[in-house]
Amino acid sequence: MGLISRVLRHYLKQKPIRSHQAEIDTAIEQLFYEINPRLRFLPGYREKLGRPVWHTLKHIHHVIDNIAGPVDAAARQWDSTPLLRAMFANSTDMAKLFDRDPALRNGIAATPPTDNIHVVIAATMQVRKVLGMAMRGDMMQRDVPQTQISFTDHRIVAFADSDGGLREKLKAYALEFVAHKVLADIAAQRSECEDLEQGLALLRARMRMKLRQDSGKACLCDRIEYSAGELDEIRAQITEKETRLSQTAIHQPTLEYFMDQLLLVLNSVEKLLQIHQVSLHLDTMNILLEKADAETVQPIELTEILRAGQPARIMLIARVPCAEALAHEDMTTRIDEALKWL
């Protein structure tokens, strides 16, 4: 009975992987293309990567599918949408983000005519402690400690003609980020290896110089005096660096080394890419409300994305009228036409 149970558990574990094999194979090819195309020459790579890649894809789906939105971000919606009022100081600032982005305008021009375009807005949330005025019972008090929320560095990081298409594009970007993390780790380790080699070469040169002086051989440099303790310390440093270098010697990394680094990143993808849902009760001045006041105000729901080695960013999917995104281009065209008649 135990053997049957183990076989059944193994079958149930493999079933979801088999049902998504095409997606897994496509992801593996994308990773290999970014990291090292020669990885496909390794025997058994599909079996080795199948489960870790599927685990990574599920996590990416979870992160991207839970990004807030889409929110209608037409200029007329700013005043009636608390989320937009919190993220942008006014409707003009919001409109500038859309109509001053050349990539967005070019993207709209390259797609079939449509009323709206879906974009991902990324911004940095800043939390500051300020002193302000607040009601305490029936009294208005000054210099009350308060928490103010603001959003800066707004960027459009991706766009597509539909919400579903945009999320699929973000999933591809996330997998690309995984591949780039592998390459960054390898580059960092190679840099560490080079630093160790340079330090080791310097220590060996100092030791050789001392040995030449002790043997009476001529030296162009000034005589260097080392105590017995200093010589022992240099020898210990040489031994330590030689040991570390033997563990990180990857100047000519093998395909197996690339595969090992890829598996390390895939198996720790939850640390690499994190998502947090942020719920804030804010007044019209973006002051974080205390619990008693918060009960009368609807919270705004935000999505915070954390990427390893990158600052946290608030991300929101917005639906923008194409006409508003092209407004700046239309104005520029009219100005150019008017200048021709001057």
Q: Give per-residue pLDDT as tens, 245-280.
A: 776 656 567 889 899 999 999 999 999 999 999 999
pLDDT higher than threshold 60 for residue 336? no
The neighbouring-strand residues paired with 288 are 282
Res 152 pLDDT > 90: yes
Are 122 and 155 contacting, i.e. CB atoms less than 8 angstroms apart?
yes
In order of 246, 307, 327, 328, 332, the CA distances from 339 in angstroms are 69, 47, 19, 16, 11
pTM score, whole prediction: 0.77
- Residue 224 maps to a domain: yes
Note whether residue 296 is domain-resident.
no
211 in any annotated domain = yes
Whether residue 48 contacts residue 158, with contact meaning beta carbons closer than 8 Å, is answered with no
**How would you classify the pairing of strands 116-136 and 139-160?**
antiparallel
Q: Would you call 293 helix, strand, or coil by DSSP?
A: helix
Q: How confident is the model at residue 293 (pLDDT cuts 50, 70, 90)?
A: low
Which two tokens mark 6? 């183990």
Q: Is residue 203 part of a domain?
A: yes
In a domain, 198, yes or no: yes
291 located within any domain: no
Count: domains in the chain = 1
Tokens of 319: 């639906």
Least confident of 172-176, 177-181, 273-277, 281-285: 281-285
What is the span of the domain harbouring residue 239? Answer: 191-254
Helix (H) or strand (E) run with residue 153 in it: strand 139-160
Residue 77, in any domain of the structure:
no
- On whether residue 31 sits in a domain, the answer given is no
Helical pair 2-19 and 45-65, crossing angle rounded to 10 deg = 70
